[in-house]
Structure 1
């Protein structure tokens, strides 16, 4: 009977060690840095644009500017004047009609909001960064490391908080 209790203790100990090990591996995997590699996409005029992250960037993937995307872009538009010198705004989509999207953004230009808008016709960048929901926003530091990924609409306060953290880390 004593041998059975000892075996059970070893089994329990082995299970606990496995759980701790697997949990550690899971945490390590979630902490791995994803770096945005240089890529080329077309702007809405069909001109090829090389994207190479050199300053903090808000990169948002959208799908034909539906309600949630429109809400997120409106928030970007509101804070753009406050941070446009320090932060790059890029919007990427697989737009059905570049003209239709361009028309929607013409009104924003009057307010001075001019993000880089790129069309991922083939979906290669969308696939490369595993974008499944729209909008998906990536907050990227100047080295191209994704420091935040979200699939929900960021409020102005949350976005400004993220930008403040991003910029303070850039100074440190």
Structure 2
């Protein structure tokens, strides 16, 4: 609750200093008041730390190499429960669309065992900016090669919304995202 009060007080202070009273900034206030409630609605039964790093190195004006690493520390931040490394190539089709071909290596703690999975995947992404709001969508098709299981294709569709270019000296960008997973299993 303290963080909600801190964010609310910070927003009010910013508005008063800049003397900004408009519908646009009232929407920002509502956004910052609602988001902390959503963030803390899950509770603290298993506090986790999720961290991701993404890098891109341009080859030319339309093509780049991409590298991503992600780890998750769970069980009240005592054990590494997930890690993946992903590398691939990204091709920009136009200002709105891009296409990726990647390979991901995943390690995940499932019970007492650490499982390993290979995930070659391709994706097409779409993005658009509407004022301070950035909307993006991604469709990904993965081929999951798992230990002791049959390989299976999986579709992952994600929609995300980002607001602003960054707030506070840390340049924090609030966003909301939802991803739908669908496995194509053998019948």
Q: TM-score range by the shorter chain?
A: under 0.3
Please state which structure has a larger fraction of its residues in helix: 1
* TM-score (normalizing by structure 1): 0.24
* Higher-RCO chain (CA-CA 8 Å, sequence separation at least 6): 1
Please state which structure has a larger fraction of its residues in strand: 2
Q: Which protein shows a greater Rg? A: 1
* TM-score (normalizing by structure 2): 0.23
